[in-house]
Amino acid sequence: MQGRHFHYFLFGAQLQSNLPMPGLAEARVQSSPEIRIWFQEKPPVWLKRHYQSAIPRFRSRCLDEFSRPTLQVWSLDGACFRFLYYDGTEFFVDRLGTRIWATWPSSLTLEDTLTYLLGTIMAFALSRRGVTCLHASAVEVDGFAVGLCGPGGAGKSTTAAAFAQRGFRVLSDDVLILERPGEQFVVRPSYPVLRLWPDSVQLLYGSAEALPLLTPNWEKRGLHLVEHADRFQKECLPLAAVYLLGGHGRQLEVPLIENARKAAGLMALVANDFVNCVLGKSGLARNFKVLCRLREQILLRRITVPAAPEKLAGIPAAIVDDFRKRRLAAA
């Protein structure tokens, strides 16, 4: 690699890239980088003859307006994985999750590429390193991490932003990184930005334009947590609870929170394993064992929220109240 290197500490790992990553603060070099990233470069040319004829191991069921899968993934002789998005953005990740290459068409920007990198791609690279990632956000409550888990559109980022607006710190958005250094699971901080749709920004801040665009080519906006009253939790915290989002009750005036049944709760966690669709059998088996242990150790609750958007303000208070009551009862 020629020229300057840029260093970041994200997802609990030291990263090095050949271009600066907009919106993220550079970190002091503490050790050799665990993950190296090359923007607008591809891996060694010998791979080309393999991936041109390879059959995808995964095709997204979600299609674009031209009926193309929004994401396809190839395994290239087990040495490298190729991710191709419908807009032409392309990633290669080596089998150990230590090297990432990214390219994109001239119509897109580095900021566009980061929206993929800081989600699915980093989650996959970390999974290759033996880390389990949930499709969830996480906030700090009373010195513990509380996960907000659910499928796309469930309101994870919006709820996390509502917590931040009320003085709580946020550990992660969309990708919850699990670690188990001892008997207890902890959550690693991810990066200090929440990605919000304009209607969520309108609801929380009174104007859809109250926050800056993440990229000129996408309507999502970014809540930069360090700049907004320093609401980013920079240290790992023990994971005490996960709240499963996704249900809306038309007749509800306040959120309804109840226990997630053991088997159903476990299946919900498995369904929200961030990259289970592209992991091999060994990776799936490893993550399933991790999530079984996690289910036994944490409070797992299911939350149904009022359908009216203006009732969002009551969700953080309801979760905090429920969490504290359950912690007190278990003491």
Element (H, E) at 16: strand 13-17
**Tell me: domain 132-330, CATH 3.20.20.70, correct?**
no
pLDDT of residue 1: 43
pLDDT of residue 275: 64
Looking at residue 84, its amino acid is L
Alpha-carbon span 4 to 175, nearest angstrom: 29
What does the angle CA 102 – CA 82 – CA 276 come to, to the nearest 5 degrees? Answer: 110
User: Model pTM greater than 0.75?
Assistant: yes
- Non-local (6+) Cβ contacts of 38 within 8 A are 1, 17, 18, 99, 100, 101, 102
Average pLDDT per 10 consecutive residues for the chain, totaling 331 residues: 80 92 83 92 70 71 80 82 92 93 95 92 89 89 93 85 94 88 87 92 92 90 86 93 81 82 77 63 76 87 81 86 90 69
Alpha-carbon span 209 to 212, nearest angstrom: 7
Cβ count near 3 (within 10 Å): 7
Alpha-carbon span 247 to 104, nearest angstrom: 36
Residue with tokens 């919900």: 268
Element (H, E) at 84: strand 80-85
What does the angle CA 165 – CA 135 – CA 98 come to, to the nearest 5 degrees? Answer: 110
In the chain, where does the domain assigned CATH 3.40.50.300 lie? 132-330
String of DSSP letters for 104-145: --TTS-HHHHHHHIIIIIHHHHHHHTT-EEEEEEEEEETTEE
Q: Is beta strand 99-103 parallel, antiparallel or unpaired with respect to 35-39?
A: parallel
